[in-house]
Amino acid sequence: MANYSTSEFKSGLKIMLDGDPYAIVDNEFVKPGKGQAFNRVKVRNLKTGRVIDRTFKSGESVEAADVHETDMQYIYSDGHFWHFMTPDTFEQFQADEAAMSDAVKWVKGEEICRVTLYNGSPLAVEPPNTVELTITETDPGVRGDTSGGGVKPATLETGAVVRVPLFVNEGETIKVNTRTAEYLSRA
Amino acid sequence: MSTAWRPAASLEALEGRARLLDDLRGWMRDEGLLEVETPLLSRAGSPELHLDSLHVPRAFPDGAEGWLGTSPEFHLKRLLAAGAPDVYSVARVFRAGEAGRLHNPEFTLVEWYRRGAGLDRLMDDIEALLAHLLPAALLARAPERLTYREAFLRHAGLDPFTAGLDELRTRAEEARESDRDSLLDRIAGLAVYPALGAGRISLVHDFPASQASLARVRDGDPPVAERVEAIVSGVELVNGFVELSDAGEQRRRFASDRAARAADLRQCPDLDENFLAALESGLPPCAGAALGFDRLAALALGVDGIAAVMAFPQDRA
């Protein structure tokens, strides 16, 4: 596996620390007086999401993490794993629940997701920024309330619950922002 | 379309930078210092442990290699030894491999020398120049002068002269290092300097003798280097020395730096015999300081990082 020297550090670079893959969030070159230089680095553990500070002597090398991101289509879930396929080579990958994390709430099939592969296996799955899903359950809108200010909870076909305007009804398909879990519009 | 051809600094920042340089030259003129220019490309260079010179093969007409200088110090001292009055220079200097928010491998260093000055006079000068150039809002509090030991006691909670290796390693977050000065540098960068210069000029003086560089060492227990650094808003702006004039001692320090570099397999310019000969012929008692002009401009103009005051920093040079 390749190594990176501290002079190649920049945000987004994926490195191995204590056996886990990390992404560099922020890198600062520090050199006090006429003294020895070092790099003050903020890194995010790609498995846990935790951000920690580390320092490296400038010139030190760190092992690169075999991590890269690819767009894949979500195909189906067998209850234990979520199956994805690369659109160009039709290669299939399975993500576990930890890798899916919040993404399970937003995908029903055929969405193109951004999958982070670590040593060839999905480590994290990012759903599309917006998805279109059908409402399976919500209270009927209150007649006469047309102000648009009021909202109500609605359960979507994936099980996610979002707040929707009162005029939106069961059976309708809506657009949702997956980053904020907010209703955007009727689809 | 790529915008990498465009300057990194705004036109407004470049105008502000030019005004500051004018003000600086005005201050130097009023103080009676003579502006001089020295070579950027030298036949010899500094062996200093943590500064890497850039090598230029076949730099000279006779085919000799050259080095882009890390500071104009040796040339300025040769001028002083030859009888020049108080001098200053505004020079581009080069430090290989240094790049970051406060570093660029090529930057502008303002260096000045006062004949007959000791540490107090040197610190007076630094305070006066910084107060002349920086906006009052950054200097609401009176300047402070504290020793290196006091700075560490106050902001790192340890005595840099007596703390044990284990304590230094813990504070430096560096379990494998065994060189005290490297560990102290790390702690300075992590804890001490960031806490200094809040709304004021902080002058840290009396460094460990092992970090004397080209400064005179004053006897005492422990002996300390007559060296000072000025910090404003956590940013180190100036480094100054009461200059070492003992050629024999200077030669010994160079030899020790060169040996350490050789042990690390790092390249090293030839020993600057012209500089050593100037010391042998007699450097008048003097003190000198170097100011990182890009950092000063960034602070004065209230922008983040020196790239914002450089037309073309390293990534678009």
**B50 and A36 in contact by Cβ < 8 A?**
yes
Per-residue pLDDT at B174: 86
Q: How far apart are CA B121 and CA B285, in angstroms?
A: 13
| Contact (CB, 8 A) for A97 and A109 | no
CATH number at residue A101: 2.40.50.140
pLDDT(B264) > 90: no
Let me know whether A79 and A112 are in one domain. Answer: yes
Let me know whether A136 and A122 are in one domain. Answer: no
**B189 and A29 in contact by Cβ < 8 A?**
no
**Containing H/E element for A118?**
strand A112-118
> What are the tens digits of pLDDT across the range B12-65?
999 999 999 999 999 999 999 999 999 999 999 999 999 999 999 999 999 999
Domain that holds residue A171: 131-186
pLDDT(A143) > 80: no
Position A62, amino acid: V
What would the mean pLDDT of B164-186 be, rounded to a whole number? Answer: 92
- Name the pTM for this structure: 0.84
Which residues of chain A have a CB within 8 Å of the CB of B50?
31, 34-37
Let me know whether A82 and A59 are in one domain. Answer: no
**A/B interface, count of CB pairs below 8 Å:** 67
Per-residue pLDDT at A148: 52
Of B174, B186, B239, the CB nearest to A34: B239
Of A31, A32, A55, the CB nearest to B173: A55
Could you give the 3-state DSSP secondary structure of residue A32? coil
Let me know whether A182 and A170 are in one domain. Answer: yes
Cβ of residue B174 closer than 8 Å to a chain A Cβ:
yes
| DSSP at B271 | P
Let me know whether A75 and A121 are in one domain. Answer: yes
| Contact (CB, 8 A) for B48 and B269 | no
Q: How far apart are CA B8 and CA B313, in angstroms?
A: 7
Q: What is the ipTM of this complex?
A: 0.85
Residues in chain A: 187
> What are the tens digits of pLDDT across the range B296-310?
999 999 999 999 999
| Contact (CB, 8 A) for B52 and A59 | no
The mean pLDDT value of chain A amounts to 91
Position A14, amino acid: K
Boundary residue ending a domain (A63, A80, A108): A63
What would the mean pLDDT of A14-31 be, rounded to a whole number? Answer: 94
Superfamily of domain B11-137+246-316: Bira Bifunctional Protein; Domain 2 (3.30.930.10)
- Between A150 and A29, the higher pLDDT residue: A29
In terms of C-beta density within 10 A (0-12 exposed, 13-18 middle, 19 or more buried), how is residue A108 classed?
Answer: middle
> What are the tens digits of pLDDT across the range B115-125?
999 999 999 99
Q: How far apart are CA B182 and CA B195, in angstroms?
A: 19
| Contact (CB, 8 A) for B208 and B237 | no
Task: List the domain boundaries for chain B.
Answer: 11-137+246-316
Candidates B186, B205, B210, B314: best to mutate against A (most CBs of A within 10 A) is B186
Which residues of chain B have a CB within 8 Å of the CB of A40?
189-190
| Contact (CB, 8 A) for A13 and A7 | no
pLDDT(A105) > 70: yes
Q: Which chain B residue lies closest to A41 (C-alpha atoms)?
A: B190
What would the mean pLDDT of B259-273 be, rounded to a whole number? Answer: 90
What would the mean pLDDT of A5-10 be, rounded to a whole number? Answer: 93
Give the model's confidence band at B206: pLDDT under 50 very low, under 70 low, under 90 confident, else very high.
very high
Which residues of chain A have a CB within 8 Å of the CB of B100?
28-30
> What are the tens digits of pLDDT across the range B68-92?
999 999 999 999 999 999 999 999 9
The domain total for chain A is: 3
CA distances from A184 to A109, A163, A178, B303 (A): 20, 10, 10, 38
**B103 and A33 in contact by Cβ < 8 A?**
no
Q: Which chain A residue lies closest to B240 (C-alpha atoms)?
A: A33
Let me know whether A175 and A136 are in one domain. Answer: yes
Which residues of chain A have a CB within 8 Å of the CB of B182?
35-36, 57
Which residues of chain A have a CB within 8 Å of the CB of B174?
55, 57
Give the model's confidence band at B176: pLDDT under 50 very low, under 70 low, under 90 confident, else very high.
confident
pLDDT(A1) > 80: no
Tokens of B177: 């290092």
Which residues contact residue A144 at a Cβ distance below 8 angstroms, ignoring those fewer than 6 apart?
none
Q: What are phi and psi of B13, to 5 degrees?
A: -65, -40
Per-residue pLDDT at B304: 94
Boundary residue ending a domain (A34, A63, A92): A63
Cβ of residue B229 closer than 8 Å to a chain A Cβ:
yes
Per-residue pLDDT at A85: 95
Q: Which chain B residue lies closest to A38 (C-alpha atoms)?
A: B186
Per-residue pLDDT at B80: 98
Which residues of chain A have a CB within 8 Å of the CB of B73?
none
Of A28, A34, A40, the CB nearest to B50: A34
Which residues of chain B have a CB within 8 Å of the CB of A34?
48-51, 211, 213, 239
Cβ of residue B98 closer than 8 Å to a chain A Cβ:
yes
Directed axis angle between helix B119-133 and helix B11-30, to 10°?
A: 140
**A36 and B239 in contact by Cβ < 8 A?**
no
User: Alpha helices of chain B — where are they, by DSSP H?
Assistant: 11-30, 73-81, 119-133, 148-155, 165-172, 180-187, 247-263, 273-282, 293-301
The closest alpha carbon to B294, from B303, B281, B284, B285, belongs to B303
Of B97, B173, B181, the CB nearest to A35: B181
What contacts 24+ positions apart, CB below 8 Å, involve B300-306?
Answer: B300/B16, B300/B20, B300/B133, B300/B134, B300/B135, B300/B138, B301/B13, B301/B16, B301/B17, B301/B20, B302/B135, B303/B13, B304/B101, B305/B101, B305/B102, B306/B101, B306/B102, B306/B103, B306/B104, B306/B107
> What are the tens digits of pLDDT across the range A53-91?
999 998 899 999 999 899 999 999 998 999 999 989 999
Cβ of residue B52 closer than 8 Å to a chain A Cβ:
no
The closest alpha carbon to B44, from B13, B62, B67, B22, belongs to B67
Per-residue pLDDT at B203: 98
Let me know whether A107 and A94 are in one domain. Answer: yes
Let me know whether A121 and A136 are in one domain. Answer: no
Q: How far is B185 from chain A (nearest CA, A)?
A: 6
Per-residue pLDDT at B2: 78
Per-residue pLDDT at A144: 57
